[in-house]
A and B are shown apart, each in its own frame.
Chain A
Amino acid sequence: MDGDGDKSMTIFDKPRDVKGTALLSFTHKVGPDDQWLYLPALKRVKRIASDNKSGPFMGSEFAYEDISSQEVEKYTYKFLRNDTFNDMEVFVFERYPVDKKSGYTRQIVWMDKQHYKERKIEFYDRKNALLKTLLFTDYNQYLDQYWRAHDMYMENHQTGKSTKLLQSNYQYRTGLSDRDFDKNSLKRIR
């Protein structure tokens, strides 16, 4: 969107009972996101509250706010130190969610100096206790500019559970337009 956040569509293929279920999100830099969920059995498009930022995404250790588009305006920042991480020169900084509905008081981010890629994030819960650690690996570059981690590993220190989020087959400039991210395409997409 012009000057605003991203439009995204998430389509579920498996588990089979939710096949065809799709989530349409309009992220905004300021204010709540817009979200619609398509339920294929009823063919019903449901507007849903985007307040559940802190809730787990599909029972995983990732919260909705961890996987939605990261906008600069969603945090305030504090530089901590220069450091090395896995033999890489990194900046370490702290960021504080602007949204009061966030499940975190703060996050500590390790970002490499070479390409400004996130390497590690620590998440602190509402009581300011360490909740989760996210590690980014298997970075690939697209269109000579966009770096994307294909492997995101989230470990929850309070429950001992973890989730590995693998992303593949990134495609750019596929000719998608705004029209591919509306309520009509939500009902049609597979």
Chain B
Amino acid sequence: MRFCSCLAILLLSTLTAQAGEWSGYVSGEFLGFVEDGAFPSQHRSYVSMAAEPEYIHEWNNGDDLFTFTPYALIDQHDSNRTHFDIRELSWIHAADDWELTAGVSKVYWGVMEAAHLVDVINQTDLVVNIDGEDKLGQPMVNLALIRDWGVVDLFVLPGFRERTFPSKDGRPRFAIPVDDGVLYESGAEHLHTDLAARWSHSIGAFDIGVAHFWGTSREPRFLVKPGEINPVAMSVNKVTPLYEIINQTSIDLQAIYGSWLLKLEALTRSGQGDRINSAAAGFEYTFVGVNESALDVGIIAEYLYDDRGDTIKPSKVLSGNAFTLSPFQKDLVLGARLTLNDAQSSELLASVIIDLDGGGESYNVEASRRLGDSWKLSVEARGVSGVPDNTTQASFSDDTRVRTELAWYF
């Protein structure tokens, strides 16, 4: 016992002696809606605050790295959005031809801008932002083997994180609230150990990645429990996420040619009823220094395909079958990215997603600018139009909104 406490003191003093450094941000956000919500529990405005400090400690000449990144969000109305997460608590060791990551971490796969199809290691933290770019920390052991013919990443992923969904009071949200309780296919439930492998390589103008994932699907199907059907109104009180064991094989590819970036992501997945095939392909072309100015204008076009439907068939929902929805069925994304290349890093991205089967459009404008040395202002406007009632986007018809975020970095 005495030995232990001595060791602890020794460890502590070693840590303080080579103290790492803290950085991160604290932000305040105001989310305002143009109209009243479709559901009485929703509000016109939501105020929230978030913080994401990061502690980094490096030793062994940078070959060992310890990172701790907690994250906290407090939302005025949405109790599901108020949450705490450990985004990163990891140790990385780098050697000559391998690298090992152990702990809670985040991994990004993919090349597209609008949809993130093949990015499967981390669960989406959907309540932070509907764009799906925020991720929950994932427990993992990742061994990267670095060879002349590419990098092989092997993953053991012990434990699963449930996707976060807005509460009844949240906005935007699906018409039918998502149950806080979830169902698993595996008897191990959230303790199922998932496995993944990826080969990636840069060959000349090409960057390529091929991956396979076996384990609990990050994207759930939904199930209506018999007790949740109101037989009189023929309505559903809530849906329950069902997480099944899937096998998913994917490819991501990017080629660069002058000012052209050509991109492709494709996957095939089994384990959630019928096999799912999904793909996205597109390009980004950049006009550099428009009119001899510092302004760069990038034009983005992406085509999204998913062989799941995006329409809701009530008969299927009510019969107790699990159902799955993709927001992108046959959709075209058109966008423009303006980069001012000024000292304030001013940027603007405007895009529209057009459902080619007549399912309406969704609009998105994001802009950001640094204020002074350590503040950043971000403004984001989103809305949908012409959306038929029976599609996944219909729940968001009244949710034209502007989000303003001011963050202080330290």
Contacts and interface: CB of A to CB of B under 8 A. Distances in A.
A184 B289 contact: no
A128 interface: no
A55 B338 CA distance: 13
Given A56-B341, A59-B341, A183-B202, A15 B374 contact: yes
A16 B296 CA distance: 24
A117 to B, nearest CB: 29
A43 interface: yes
Contact of B96 (A15, A52, A179): A179
Interface size class of B (residues with CB under 8 A): 35 or more
* Interface secondary structure of A, over-half rule: loop
A52 B296 contact: yes
A43 B65 CA distance: 15
A16 B144 contact: no
Interface in B99-152: 99, 106-108, 111, 133, 144, 146, 151
Contacts of A60: 343
Contact of B107 (A18, A43, A101, A189): A43
Contacts of B108: 42-45
Contacts of B342: 56, 59
A58 B342 CA distance: 7
Contact of A59 (B62, B97, B345): B345
A63 to B, nearest CB: 9
B211 interface: no
Contacts of B92: 188
A73 to B, nearest CB: 19
Contacts of B62: 188-190
Contacts of A16: 23, 25, 373-374, 409-410
Interface size class of A (residues with CB under 8 A): 35 or more
Contacts of B23: 16, 19
Nearest to A26: B202
B374 A184 contact: no
A149 B8 CA distance: 48
A66 interface: no
B370 interface: yes
B207 A14 contact: no
A17 interface: yes
Contacts of B250: none
A51 B259 contact: yes
B47 interface: no
Contacts of A103: 289
B237 interface: no
Contacts of A166: none
B344 interface: yes
Given A47-B261, A59-B345, A103-B289, A188 B407 contact: no
B374 A55 contact: no
B189 interface: no
A54 B288 contact: yes
A81 interface: no
A75 B259 CA distance: 21
Given A15-B374, A17-B25, A126-B292, A190 B151 contact: no
B34 interface: no
Contacts of B107: 43
21 contacts: A15-B345, A16-B373, A17-B374, A17-B407, A47-B111, A47-B207, A49-B260, A51-B288, A55-B289, A55-B294, A55-B296, A56-B294, A56-B341, A56-B342, A125-B292, A179-B96, A183-B202, A184-B99, A184-B151, A185-B94, A188-B99
Interface of A: 14-19, 32, 34, 42-45, 47, 49, 51-52, 54-56, 58-60, 101, 103, 125-126, 177, 179, 182-185, 188-190
Given A17-B374, A188-B99, 18 more contacts: A15-B374, A16-B373, A17-B407, A19-B409, A34-B202, A43-B108, A47-B207, A47-B254, A47-B256, A47-B261, A55-B289, A55-B296, A59-B294, A59-B342, A101-B288, A177-B96, A184-B146, A190-B62
